[in-house]
Amino acid sequence: MATIGTPDVRTRGLDAAYTPPTAARGDGVVAAYMGITAVVLALLMVFGLLMRASQAGVITIPANRFYQLLTAHGIGMVAISGLGGAGVMWFFLSRYVPLSRTILLANLACFLAGVVLVLGGIFVGGFAAGWTFLFPLPAHSLGVWGPGAAASYLAGVLLVGVGFLLLYLDTGRAIIRTYGSLGRALGWPQAFGKSAASAPPPTVVASTVVTIINVPAIAVGAVILTMSLVNAYAPAFRVNALLAKNLIYFFGHVFINSAIYMGVIGVYEILPAFTGRPWKSTRPFLLAWTATMLMVVAVYPHHLFMDYANPRWANVLGQILSYTSGLPVLAVTAIATLANVYRSGMRWNVTSSLLFASVMGWSVGVIPAIVDGTIAINRVMHNTLWVPGHFHIYLLLGVVAMLFGFMYFLSSLHGGAEGALDRAAFWSYVVGGMAFAVVFLAAGAMSVPRRWAVHLAPWMGLDRLGAAFALVVVAAALVFAASFLRRVRATGG
Amino acid sequence: MEQRIAVLVSTVLGVLLLGVFAAVARSAGRSGSAEEIAAGAARWRRAVLWGLVGVFVPTIAFSLTRTPYPSAGQTAAVVVQATGHQWTWEVAPDTVPARELVEIRVTGADVNHGLGVYDLNDRLITQAQAMPGYTNVIRHTFATPGTYRILCLEYCGLGHHTMVSKLVVSAAR
């Protein structure tokens, strides 16, 4: 197999000893994944900007249209983070295990077909139950949308899930075929035993964790989607509302965390190419990933703290795990990132800057999230704008920065060079994104509720600030997206 | 009070972390021994791990004594039934005494809603989800008489933002 390109280390900041990855069948599909990710991210950010501008009173969006945008923005961001993350994971994992290009394509086909159904349900049928589609709202719109719109949305999400399920079954198959078992791929012989063999590379460890946690998450999501679908046409078929919430938040929490875990593979693989310091699967690294894998599937009750009827032990466990679940991987990754970059003699460019910033965003965003994961504080923060405040830090400045960083890396392998506009976009994105999220946090501290189409006058000052920073972020994201598409197209990638 | 704690903790730790990342980013142009830096990182990792354990254990233990979940043995002076409908609140009685324990039984008649109680300064002071088929019980003592606002805090459809009601807190009996 041939290498993808001959990187120019002087202009791209890559370490002189760096060898670009060998081209794999499927790299073109990965480029398509990332191209779609770039376009959809930019579009969904425009939706976000429109919503903030409307809340600020700068423009007027009717409430029904606002809630449609809200639904599309939410489900779209979850799904596209998954798609982009899958692109990053597949690109690097395919260097270690024999993945199926056909399955990669099948996932993309399911995704695109699902998106058509979802968008049809929302913007044609008027479906606006929020991305969380809490039961029984999909079938209980009070005449705003019909069962057809609900079915289109639910079936679309189900189809997207089927595609991802196929993908993770394939990664599981390929990992087991190469390493013998999932335990070996997690490095358990090295972490818990005395094996002297080399541990699996970080990409394989992270991919194995994502595979293990996402298969049950998607299966559980499919269960509640199917039950909601049946309920849309047969109202007599009812689901316990609390059970439905448990299923939805288990699915949603694990899936979006997996997007971060897939995106961070880009950090593990690409940052060392700049610093010349390889990322190693050390024992703490292996232990951290196993610990996070076990905890992340049990932490979701922190979404249910204000459901007092939920078993108290589950909510207490949710708080304890909120403090501990993400930290092993995050702490190991953050400290290793800092150590990898510290006095490395590296040169910064947009790729390395975005990847470094993504770990910063992930780390910083976890702080207000853990604060909100405290039941006593959640009582006055839950479903205020504090919540989008913290998740926009670790999604916008975390996983999305990872995805854009990977796009710059990918296009540089194909020979594209970045310019001053790209660098300006980086600073605009990081500074504007942080300010945008901090405005959310400030509004949350003022008790402004989330998901309100119309805001009261005292809240609008912060809304206007938020809209202004959103404009900066959207402009930067448009530059990132256009730059990637232009460079990949120009080089025939 | 809780909002202030949240802002203070998030600001201090967030700025500290941003400072660390900025300092490391500035150092990247210089060269150092990778082995020495890796050894230093391992020491930092251990210190951070034990530091977090030292902070988290007492924080979790203390904060779990402050949960809003009702405990047995408390008798409320007044019981309020609060039911969320698309898109209105049904609150009865809508007047309660100050400085006495009030029990608010929260439920949803159709879909999920969220009952958020806002004080006289429009700060959220307590909340519970209003779920169909379940009753979540809030027990709260209102310190100050006045008109408190009730806002919906769980997205419930087109009229979500119009679900605003009130609870009057009268001077103590």
Contact B133 A344 (CB under 8 A): no
pTM of the model: 0.94
At residue B146, what are phi and psi to the nearest 5 degrees?
150, -175
CB B131 to CB A309 under 8 A? Answer: yes
Q: Domain of A165?
A: 9-490
Residue A1 lies inside a defined structural domain of this protein: no
What is the DSSP code string of B55-115? HHHHHHHHHGGG-----TT---SEEEEEEEETTEEEEES-EEETTSEEEEEEEESSS-EEE
**Residue A425, in any domain of the structure:** yes
CB of A243 within 8 Å of any CB in chain B? no
Residues of B whose CB is below 8 A from A291: none
Which of A316, A335, A342 lies nearest to residue B48, judging by beta carbons? A335
Partners of A241 on chain B (C-beta within 8 Å) are 108, 112, 131-134
Contact of B64 with chain A, judged by CB distance below 8 Å, is answered with yes
Minimal Cα–Cα distance from A76 to chain B, Å?
18
Q: Is B108 on the interface with A (CB under 8 A)?
A: yes
Record the tokens describing residue B100, joined without a space.
């006495």
Whether A283 has its CB under 8 Å from any CB of chain B: the answer is no
Question: Quick check: B161 pLDDT over 50?
Answer: yes
Report chain A residues whose CB lies below 8 A from the CB of B155. 67, 70, 129-130, 132, 134, 137, 451
B164 chain-A contacts, CB cut-off 8 A: none
Helix, strand and coil content of chain B, in percent to the nearest 5, comes to: 35, 35, 30
**Residue B118 pLDDT > 60:** yes
In tens, the pLDDT along B81-113 reads 999 999 999 999 999 999 999 999 999 999 999
Contacts made by residues A307-314, CB under 8 angstroms, sequence distance 24+: A307/A242, A307/A245, A307/B128, A307/B129, A307/B131, A307/B134, A307/B136, A308/B68, A308/B69, A308/B70, A308/B128, A308/B129, A308/B136, A308/B137, A308/B138, A309/A242, A309/B131, A309/B134, A309/B135, A309/B136, A310/A242, A310/A246, A312/B69
Given A308, A319, A381, which is nearest B136 (Cβ)? A308
What is the per-residue pLDDT for A148?
97
What are the chain A neighbours of B50 within 8 Å (beta carbons)? none
Q: Looking at residue A491, what is its pLDDT? A: 63
Pick from B8, B150, B154 the residue to mutate for testing the A interface (most A CBs within 10 Å).
B154
The whole-number pLDDT of residue B173 equals 63
* Minimal Cβ distance to A136: which of B9, B30, B111: B111
Given this model, what pLDDT does residue A1 score?
A: 39
Check CB contact of B119 with chain A, cutoff 8 Å.
no
Size of interface A-B (CB pairs under 8 A): 233
Please count the structural domains in chain A. 1
Residue A218 lies in a domain: yes
Residue A481 near chain B (CB below 8 Å): no
Quick check: is A4 in a domain?
no
- Averaged pLDDT of chain B: 94
Determine the distance in angstroms separating the CA of A107 from the nearest CA of chain B, rounded to an integer.
Answer: 31
Residue A16 confidence (pLDDT): 65
CATH of the domain at A398: 1.20.210.10
Within a domain: residue A205?
yes
Q: Which residues of B49-72 are buried (b: 16+ CB within 10 A; e: fewer)?
A: beeeeeeeeeebeebeeebbbeee
Q: Considering CB atoms only, which of B7, B31, B161 is closest to A452? A: B161
What pLDDT tens digit does each residue of chain A (493 aa) get?
Answer: 344 544 444 445 666 666 767 767 778 899 999 999 999 999 999 999 999 999 999 999 999 999 999 999 999 999 999 999 999 999 999 999 999 999 999 999 999 999 999 999 999 999 999 999 999 999 999 999 999 999 999 999 999 999 999 999 999 999 999 999 999 999 999 999 988 889 999 999 999 999 999 999 999 999 999 999 999 999 999 999 999 999 999 999 999 999 999 999 999 999 999 999 999 999 999 999 999 999 999 999 999 999 999 999 999 999 999 998 867 887 889 999 999 999 998 889 999 999 999 999 999 999 999 999 999 999 999 999 999 999 999 999 999 999 999 999 999 887 767 889 999 999 999 999 999 999 999 999 999 999 999 999 999 999 999 999 999 999 999 999 999 998 887 765 5
Residue A2 lies in a domain: no
Predicted local distance difference test score (pLDDT) of residue A493: 53
Q: Does B109 contact chain A (CB < 8 Å)?
A: no
Complex ipTM, two decimals? 0.95
